[in-house]
Amino acid sequence: MLFRIRNFLGFLLSAALVLVILVAGLAWFLFRPGGLHADLTGAPLLEGSTLEVAAVSDRPVGDVVVTPEGRLFFTLHPAAAGPGPRLFEWVDGAARPFGAAAGLETPFALGIDGQNRIWVADPGRLGLGTPRLVAFDLTTGAPLHEHTFPRGVTPWGSWLNDLAVSADGNWVYLADAGVASHRAALVVYNVRDRRSYRMLAGHETVSPRDFLIRAPGRDMALLGGQIALKPGVAALSLSEDGDWLHYAAANHDTAYRIPVEGLQNPNFSTVRVAVDIQTVGTKPLGEGIATAGAALLATDVEHGAVMRLLPDGRTQTVLRDDRLRWPGQLATGPDGALYVADSALQHVLLRDAGAVAAAAPFTIWRIPAPPPAVPLDPLTGRPVQP
């Protein structure tokens, strides 16, 4: 009898060891460090002296959004948010909690519609909690609409990193970066029907590439460099006419766009929707994009820069400055100015409170509207003089 028990325990131990090896091997395969991305920066359109402080926080900032009237809202980054409110409005030089009555867990992504509402996506602690979407009245701060995502829409390991909302407030598009699940997707929410669903799940355009993100001061890899940070689709921006959704994975070298019409049909398969995907251009590694006319702006977390992707394929450096430690989410103001949420993520992710305090303050930067792009002559390739 004792011999049988010993054999059984030995079998359990061997099975557990095999399982650990398999899980570790899968994690390494999915998150193994890759090569380095090219430096796309060049001569900047704007000098570093034009960089201004728009808001500051003693805790890392997450997303930022600016209303047509110029009101600035931001969230704290869940990597080191700490207790207390996590959604704020910057008023008279100070951060004031906003919409605290909703009891959000990990609010992150923000968006403004044309119906006087601010939308907040709460990833719910990587899907372990309650991922949901809440809309607040911009005047009163009262919650007006709430949707809890079904488990099949925001599974464990999901992370709602960005959102874009239509001007009429009837459609919300969200980016599930799949930080832990490694299964990125676009999430679409029909406000009137209160229905949400996943689109393009696992498609190559929303999935991360095999790059090692080399931020200033730290390679974004854990366990001695064996497990790399590889977020999938992390940035969204609607075209000015609302007909196209631009999207980009953080660990990816290309930005894309897709007609919203296809995304609004939950019966369309990935194959059907993917037919209409268009390439926007080559981008740096980063998690923020914004539409500026026919161009697309993108943050560069490796080189402290904001880039501009032009329709003719050119990539321009809007501004590059060492003060931009981790230029993450990106927003535009009513005057065309850019707002960059700098979380200094490389200094706070999986670090203790002392390291977070040492990295403070955390800044939301304002960059003046970049000058208009000079078009190129299609025959000569030279700039067309006005």
Indicate the range of 28-32, 62-66, 181-185 predicted with least confidence.
28-32
**With contact defined as beta carbons under 8 Å apart, do 219 and 212 qualify?**
yes
Q: Which domain does 207 fall in, by range?
A: 32-44+85-287+299-326
Instruction: Grade residue 21 by pLDDT with cuts at 50, 70 and 90.
Output: very low
Residue 272 in any domain: the answer is yes
Is 335 a domain residue?
no
pLDDT at position 82, please?
82
| Total length of the chain | 386
Phi, psi of 62 (to 5 degrees): -105, -90
Q: At residue 26, does pLDDT exceed 50? A: no
Q: Is residue 210 part of a domain?
A: yes
Per-residue pLDDT at 96: 97
Question: What is the pLDDT at residue 188?
Answer: 99
Mean pLDDT (the chain) is 90
Answer yes or no: is 163 within a domain: yes
DSSP 102: G
With b meaning 16 or more CB within 10 Å and e meaning fewer, what string describes 41-78?
A: beebbbeeebbeebbebebbbbbbbbeeeebbbbbbbb
Q: Among 1-15, 135-149, 278-292, 325-339, which is the least confidently predicted range?
A: 1-15
Residue 7's pLDDT band, with cuts at 50, 70 and 90, is: low
Say if residue 8's pLDDT is above 60. no
pLDDT at 6 over 60: no
Among 103-107, 115-119, 208-212, the range scoring the smallest mean pLDDT is: 103-107
Q: Residue 79: exposed, middle, or buried by beta-carbon count in 10 A (0-12, 13-18, 19+)?
A: middle
> Is residue 224 pLDDT above 60, yes or no?
no
Whichever domain contains 221, its CATH number is: 2.120.10.30
* 120 in Cβ contact with 75 (< 8 Å): yes
List, in sequence order, every residue forming a beta bridge with 89; answer none if it has no partner. Answer: 73, 96
Answer yes or no: is pLDDT of 137 > 60: yes
Closest CA to 111 of 170, 195, 196, 199: 170
In a domain, 249, yes or no: yes
- pLDDT of residue 11 exceeding 80, the answer is no
Average pLDDT over residues 61-77: 98
What span, in angstroms and rounded, lies between the C-alpha atoms of 86 and 103?
Answer: 10
Q: What is the pLDDT of residues 163-192, one digit of tens each?
A: 999 999 999 999 999 999 999 999 999 999
Please give the average per-residue pLDDT across 250-273, as a whole number: 97
Residue 212: predicted pLDDT? 96
Look at residue 282 and tell me if it is in a domain.
yes
Q: Domains in the chain: how many in total?
A: 1
CA distance linking residue 386 with residue 383, whole number of Å: 9
Residue % of the chain over a pLDDT of 90: 82
pLDDT tens digits for range 266-321: 999 999 999 999 999 999 999 999 999 999 999 999 999 999 999 999 999 999 99
Residue 12 confidence (pLDDT) above 70? no
**20 three-class SS:** helix
Average pLDDT for 100-108: 83
Residue 343 located in a structural domain: no
pLDDT digits (tens, 9 = 90+) for 284-299: 999 999 999 999 999 9
Average pLDDT on 337-365 reads 97
Q: What is the mean pLDDT of residues 49-65?
A: 98
> Which SS3 state, helix, strand or coil, does residue 180 take?
coil
Residue 334 lies in a domain: no
The CA distance from 363 to 308, in Å, is 22
**Residue 263: pLDDT over 80:** yes
3-class SS of residue 346: helix
Is-contact 317 44, C-beta < 8 A?
A: yes
DSSP 379: T
